[in-house]
Every structure is written in C-alpha cells, then in structure tokens.
Chains A and B, each alone.
Chain A
Amino acid sequence: MATNILMPALSPTMEQGKLAKWLKKVGDKIKSGDVIAEIETDKATMEVEAVDEGVLSSILVADGTENVAVNTPIGVIAGEGEDASAAPAPAAEKALASASEKAPAPSAPAVPVQAPASEEIPAGTEMVVMTMREALRDAMAEEMRRDENVFVMGEEVAEYQGAYKVTQGLLQEFGPRRVVDTPITEHGFTGVAAGAAMAGLRPILEFMTFNFAMQAMDQIINSAAKTNYMSGGQMGCPIVFRGPNGAAARVAAQHSQCFAAWYSQVPGLSVVMPFTAADAKGLLKSAIRDNNPVIFLENEILYGQSGEIPKIDDFLVPIGKARVHRAGKDVTLVSFGIGMTYCVKAADELAKEGIEAEIIDLRTIRPMDTETVVRSIQKTGRCVAVEEGWPQSGVTAEIGMRIMEAAFDYLDAPVARVTGKDVPMPYAANLEKLALPTVGDVVRAAKAVLYR
C-alpha cells in the first residue's frame, strides 16, 4: 500500500517551512528511522525521519520549495515489492488527517507590530525592520561591546545559540568567557550571577523560560532585590534576568504562565515587558545599564514578529515610561507585552463601529507609569485593562486600583479588566483557547464601559 509522506510540523509554532533538500531519491529503499529530507523551520534546519517503510516512489514537492504548509503531501512511499510508480494513496493517513483540526495556531493573534509612535525616536530617523529576537540580540551585543563587565549566562545560551535563538552569534563574537553555558541549576547559577553582580560585574541572566526561574526565586527576591537596601546603599545588584514568559503554544500548565504580577510586587526590582521590537531593544539596553536588578519578560510568540527599529547609535528607551500606542478619545485600553496584541486588534474592530480606542502600552510594570494612564482617562473617561496572566492580584487589578486612587473623578464607568482565566493552562487545543483572553473579550469589555 502506498503512503504519503506529509510535510511535518517540527516545532510548537511552525505552520509552514522550506523543503530544503531530499536526502533520498525516487526508487530508494526506506527503512523507518532513515533521514529522508531536510526542512527549514522558522528556527532551524531539521532532519525528517521516515516512519513508514518501503520504496520512495515519487517526490511531490521539489528541493528548495519555500512555504510548504504543514501536512502537504511531499512524497510517496510504496510498500516493498509494489510498483514504484504506483499512484499516491492518500487513504492511508486520511483517517488521521481528517480528525486533525489543523495545526494549533499560536495562542495569540499574530498582529504585525507597528512602528511605535514614540518620543524616544526623533522624527525623520531612518528605520530598519527586524524581529524582536534580533533586536534583543543586538541590544545585548551593543552593551557587551560598550562595557567589558557585561556578560551573558544561562542554559544553552552559547554553543546551542539559545534555546529560542535569542543569543545567536554572541558566543562567536564574544567568546566563552562572556557567553557562558551553565548546567541545569537555576537556583545555583542565579546566586552565582547575583554574587558576581554584587562584586561589580553586570550579568545578563537568561532563563530558558521564566517558569524555571521559580527554582531561583529566593536568590532573585531575597538576594538580588534586597541587597542595596540591606547594605544601606553600599552595594547593589546590577543584573538583568531575561527570558520568555507567559503562555507559548500547547506547552501546558507547567510551562505557560505569566510572572509579571509576581515580580511586580517586590520593592527593589524593576519589571519590564516589551511588546514591540524597538521597545525590546531600547529597554533591554537600559536594563543592562541600570544599577538595579531588572526582570525582563519576553514572549516566545513575539520573538518572530518584526518591527521597525530606529537606526540610532545608542537607542535607549527609559524604564518606567508607558507609551501611547494608538491615540483615541472614546475608551482607554491599557496593556503590556503580548496583551497588547489583543488591544491592537480590538481597537481595529471598535473603529469599524466608530469607537476610537486609545491604547497605552505600559512597557514597564514596575515602576508603573500611572501618569500616562491617568492622562488618557482624563480624555476618555473609560478604561479596560488587559493581560494574559491570572486575574487575582494581577497587574490589571493594580491598574484598576491606581485609577481609583488617581482618577476616580474622571471615570464615567467602572474600570473593566480582561485576563487569562483563573485556571492552570490546559493542554487540549480547545481548552487552551478558552483559557486565554480573546479580541472579542476586549471588544465586549470596551463596549460595556461605554454602555453600548
């Protein structure tokens, strides 16, 4: 029986890829486990191994073809002894394929990131387009060139080039003294890095994801955050803790949670969570120069999104300043990081109904720029706060309270919030979708505060 070879999904976020090279030709015998082709994904070149056995009877997608969608038949394997020219028989995997509701989409709407209207960027500045991944890498590289005390440490940051490829190329430029692979020992290496920072070095500590920083919570909070205070200002801890935070796609309960609210409780820490590539670059450079510990929360789904970055020698975005991402007069949407994707889409939807939403990107969670939020509410009188994290004691809860304290008199409706559901992240695709906020949730909340 002939079996189709399908274009495989080779990462949690892959939807298409390039068929780089066939390693077998028509007529070749194939055993399960044989490498049959090479495929380029968004992150890497992967080898495809055969599961079915037989003879490669035809190649349906040629070497070098780009943008081949996952699950497209790329070749046919005929059972041994069969006519190698037998027509493909899609029936073999039809039963399976028909049950699949397509590869899971990333858990957030993919919004092309716009150029930020930002006071940090002088008018007329030349812009370059790059992904957030590249922007973060450039920020680290620039600061490492500028200051010999800056170094990167973490799991798989050097030889593997980063689990999510954010540190790509750093080892090649700066060598193993300054780009340091660690064993899997979060609690230990976080203490080591904090100690090095107390001695005057400036570590950039990458957590493979922030879920693993929980192993190191004590060193982050009890050591890094409090040293300056406890020493009466004699010694601080100039360190950046960075890595992907929040839900990625289908990685379930232990790997999908937002820590913005957790860290934002702690005096002595700054907490940053960029949405655009430009902010990611400018804020990371500021974080590295900061004399205090900075928690820098990135997002795997945003890594691949492109944005315009000003071509300025030393582009810095100050910590603690929000940015008006889109101007409007009817309702204020406040968010940060990946939460912004929902607001941007919701604002487009609302615009179709004649509602002009103003979007504030907090960028920094702590210290929180209440002033920029209040200024917007003075104009709109209404506010929806949005985050992917859990509701109880969340960042949106804090935003709501601050508005109560500082802008109650300007409100024409109670502040509303849209958050992730109050549950651990489920694995099943349908439940995962339900656990996250949606654009519709934001639109509904905006209309509710507008009494429409």
Chain B
Amino acid sequence: MAIAARAKTAKSTAESAAPPALTKEQELLAYREMLLIRRFEEKAGQLYGMGLIGGFCHLYIGQEAVVVGMQMAMKPGDQMITGYRDHGHMLACGIDPKGVMAELTGRKGGLSKGKGGSMHMFSKDKNFYGGHGIVGAQVSLGTGLGFANAYRKNGAVSMAYFGDGAANQGQVYESFNIAELWKLPVVFVIENNRYAMGTAVTRASAQQDFSKRGVSFNIPGAQVDGMDVRAVKAAAEKALAWAREGKGPFILEMQTYRYRGHSMSDPAKYRTKEEVQKMREEHDPIEQVGARMLREKRASEDELKALDQKARAIVNEAAEFASHDPEPDVSELWTDILA
C-alpha cells in the first residue's frame, strides 16, 4: 500500500503482508458500521450548513476503518476515550445515532441533554468516556481508565485515541511513562491523518514514525494501514491481547486520512485537491470492503445498495429526531454542575 510505504522507517512490527481475511459476516459488519459513520457524518455536515448544528463540528469521514476495526477486536467491558472528532467512535460502540445527532443539535434527547455538544459527549452505558475538546487531555484520562482496570483487576483494556498533532503534547509522554512503569492495560491509538488542523505531520513532528514514540519507555508499537479495516482489526487483536495479559500498554499508529477540513470552517488550503482525490479513489476504507465483497462474490451490487439505503434511513431518522426534539428545559442550565 502506498500509505504504508510512505513511512520509510516503518519497521517496528509493521504488518507488511496482506492482513488476514475477514469472514463474510465480519466483512458485512465492517461495511455496515463504516457506512453508518460515513452517512451520519455527511448528514451532520449538512445540518451544520443549515444552522442546526453550531460551534465546532469535526467530521470523521475517511477514518472510519480505524474505529470500526478496533471495535471488532474489543471485548465487552473495554473502554474508549477520544478527542473532539468523536461521532464515529460513539456510533462504533453502539450508541444510538439519535442521541448523538440530538447532542449535535443541542436538544433534550442528546446524550448530554444538549449541554455538551459535538466535542463533549459521553456514555457510561457503553463505556465511552468522551468526547474531549482539549488536545491531548484524553491521553492521560485514558491512562487513568487503564489504572482503574489494573486496580480492580477486571481484565478490561482502555483504548485511548488521539491525533498526530495531539501526539506532541507533553502529557502524552508523562502518561506513557506511567503506563509502562505500572504495566497498565491501555492501548494508545494514534490516528495519524497526516494533519493537525493546517499543519502537516512533517512540519510538526521530529519523529514521524509514531509507533516509535514509546521506544524510550519500552512500549511496543506498530504502524498500521488505517484505511484497511482488516489490518486494523488484526493489529488491534495483538495489542489488546498484550495489554490484557498484563504486559502493559501498546501503541498503534493508524495511518489514515481525513477527507474533509479540520472542522466545518476550515478551507483546507494546505493540501491539494489531487491529494484528497487520490486517497478517496485509491484507499477509501468503505470502497475497499465493498469492492472486495463484490469481487469475491460475497455480496451483489444490489445488496450493497440496500445496505446503503438502510444506513441512510437510520441517519435520516436520527436527523429527523434531532431537528424536532425540543431544546433542553431552561432549568437544565443549573443542573449537573455538581454530582
């Protein structure tokens, strides 16, 4: 893959051979889940354009294989935490799209009663710990989730997602040291989509092989083709097993790409249209699975179309709910400040 070849120094434990195949059921699951995220995000972009969603809104389009592949390797009880580009993570861990969309529109039925917004959403129910607006903060928090697992000896693993830009924050390294020193069950998932806002990785990072960012702490790492859901799932299984066995944290660098601007108001002049177009045409995570299923006759065009219609229907229903659900009651201004 071009994307793997890009990292000249990628040696650590990079999966270079074709990743293990998925079963038909797994392919279909991955396809459905990724499509749901894609259609959801497109709709969110549209609602933003209509003024139904305000403030910052960061879309996950292009990166779907990362969270879906990770989720396929997770076990019940494992936790997840991420930054502000969080809608996909929520859908992947099974949170009702209506609750997510209604939070985006700031309505009563939103996951945080409309009080958190796009960047700040949580689901205790689904072990989803947010949704954080401050770059890097979730990395220490995610390490803390791992600490709680180790403390309770509950066998669960915490997944801490962060971006290539966030990977430069100081608290990331303080957390790395603690996680390895205390052998905490944490998988650090670095979503390297090549840009932090308008800054390309090459302009911000001295060490651009993010899988090596744990070397001085003895944390193992791997570079993964984050556009290929099979590769993600395979790498996630190894990392999760490592952490679950009490060997400590693991770093996964997911090489991925965001198609849209950083947020809705980013004109994205820092990269060429051709670059984006090439990724879409040659590496699209959803197209890859669709094409493979067609090629291997695991699904027909019509069946894939039907799946798309279904995803659109779920998303439309969520949008419909999120636009008609009332705003939170004014009394909510003063609730939830303290537990």
Residue count of chain B within 8 Å CB distance of chain A: 64
Q: Which listed residue (B117, B168, B197, B330) contacts A163, Cβ 8 A?
A: B197
Q: Given A33-B259, A252-B55, are A431 and B328 also a contact pair (CB < 8 Å)?
A: yes
Q: Enumerate 13 A-B pairs (CB-CB under 8 Å) in ascending A order.
A: A9-B50, A9-B51, A44-B269, A48-B49, A102-B51, A184-B166, A185-B168, A251-B119, A252-B119, A427-B116, A428-B332, A430-B330, A435-B333
Residue A423 is within 8 A (CB to CB) of chain B in the complex: yes
Q: Which of B243-268 contact A (CB under 8 A)?
A: 259-261, 264-265, 267-268
Query: Smallest CB-CB separation from B121: which chain A residue?
Result: A427
Q: Does B151 reach chain A (CB closer than 8 Å)?
A: no
A350-409 contacts to B (CB < 8 Å): none
Inter-chain contacts of B50 with A (CB < 8 A): 6, 8-9, 70-71, 93, 96-97, 100
The 10 residue pairs across chains A and B that have the minimum distance between CB atoms: A8-B49, A427-B117, A103-B51, A250-B54, A250-B55, A11-B265, A160-B198, A428-B106, A254-B133, A428-B114
Contacts of B197 in A (CB 8 A): 155-156, 160, 163
Q: Which of B178-186, B228-236, B319-327 contacts A (4 or more CB under 8 A)?
A: B319-327
Does A424 count as interface, using CB distance less than 8 angstroms? yes
The yes or no answer to A266 lying at the interface (CB within 8 A) is: no
**Which residues in A have their C-beta under 8 angstroms from that of B196?**
183-184
Q: CB-CB < 8 A to A35: which residues of B?
A: 273
| B-side contacts of A431, CB under 8 Å | 106, 114-115, 327-328, 330, 332-333
Contact B56 A12 (CB under 8 A): yes
How far is it, in angstroms, between the C-alpha of A159 and the C-alpha of B112 when the chains are bound? Answer: 37
Q: Given A12-B56, A184-B204, A250-B55, verify A96-B267 contact (CB < 8 Å).
A: no
> Taking the nearest CB of chain A, how far is it from the CB of B242, in angstroms?
28
Instruction: Knowing A51-B43, A252-B120 are in contact, say whether A104-B333 is a contact too (CB < 8 A).
Output: no
Between A47, A211, A248, A429, the greatest number of chain B beta carbons within 10 A of the residue's beta carbon is seen for A429
For B113, the closest partner residue in chain A by CB is A428
Question: What is the chain B residue whose CB lies nearest that of A255?
Answer: B133
Q: Is A118 an interface residue (CB 8 A)?
A: no
Docked Cα-Cα span, A44 to B265, in Å, equals 8
> Which residue from B103, B133, B264, B327 sits with its C-beta under 8 Å from A430?
B327
Q: For the complex, is A149 an interface residue (Cβ under 8 Å from B)? A: no
Contact A160 B270 (CB under 8 A): yes
Please name all residues of chain B whose beta carbon is closer than 8 Å to the beta carbon of A93 when the two chains form the complex: 50
Assess A9 versus B48: contact at CB under 8 Å? Given A99-B323, A100-B323, A431-B332: yes
Q: Which residues of chain A have C-beta atoms less than 8 A from B269's C-beta?
A: 44
Q: Given A46-B267, A100-B323, A253-B116, do A426 and B49 touch, yes or no (CB 8 Å)?
A: no
Nearest CB in chain A: distance from B332 CB, A: 6
Give the distance in Å from the alpha carbon of A434 to the alpha carbon of B327 in the complex: 13
Contact between A156 and B198 (Cβ–Cβ < 8 Å)? yes
Count of interface residues, chain A, beta-carbon cutoff 8 Å: 67
List A residues at the B interface (Cβ < 8 Å): 6-12, 14, 32-33, 35, 41, 43-49, 51, 70-71, 93, 95-97, 99-100, 102-104, 155-156, 159-160, 163, 181, 183-188, 211-212, 214-215, 248-255, 421-424, 426-431, 434-435
Contact of A185 with B280 in the complex, beta carbons under 8 Å: no
- Does B87 interact with chain A (Cβ within 8 Å)? no
Q: Which residues of A contact B56 (CB under 8 A)?
A: 12, 251, 255
Chain B residues within an 8 Å CB radius of A252: 55, 115-117, 119-120, 133
- B residues near A184, Cβ cutoff 8 Å: 135-136, 165-166, 168-169, 196, 204
CB <8 Å contact, A426 and B114: yes
**B168 and A428: CB pair below 8 A?**
no
Establish whether residues B323 and A427, one from each chain, have CB atoms under 8 Å apart when the complex forms.
no
A77 to chain B, nearest CB (A): 12
User: Does B123 count as interface, using CB distance less than 8 angstroms?
Assistant: no
| Given known A185-B170, A424-B337, contact A70–B51 (CB-CB < 8 A) | yes
Given A163-B197, A251-B56, A431-B115, 19 more pairs with CB closer than 8 A: A8-B50, A11-B265, A35-B273, A51-B45, A96-B52, A102-B51, A104-B54, A159-B270, A181-B203, A181-B204, A187-B170, A214-B134, A248-B55, A249-B54, A251-B119, A253-B133, A254-B119, A428-B114, A429-B327
- A254 and B49 CA atoms in complex are apart in Å by 23
Chain B residue numbers with a CB within 8 Å of A10 are 49, 264-265
Most chain A CB within 10 A, of B49, B133, B199, B337, is at: B49
For window 34-58 of B, CB contacts with A under 8 Å fall at 42-43, 45-52, 54-56
Question: Does B132 sit within 8 A of A, measured CB to CB?
Answer: yes
Known: A44-B265, A160-B198. A430 touches B328 (CB 8 A): yes
Please tell me if the beta carbons of B48 and A8 are within 8 angstroms of each other in the complex.
yes
How far does the Cβ of A92 sit from chain B's closest Cβ, in whole Å?
11
Instruction: Name A48's closest neighbour in chain B (CB-CB).
Output: B49
Contact yes or no, B106 A253, CB < 8 A: no
Q: How far is the CB of A53 from chain B (nearest CB, A)?
A: 10
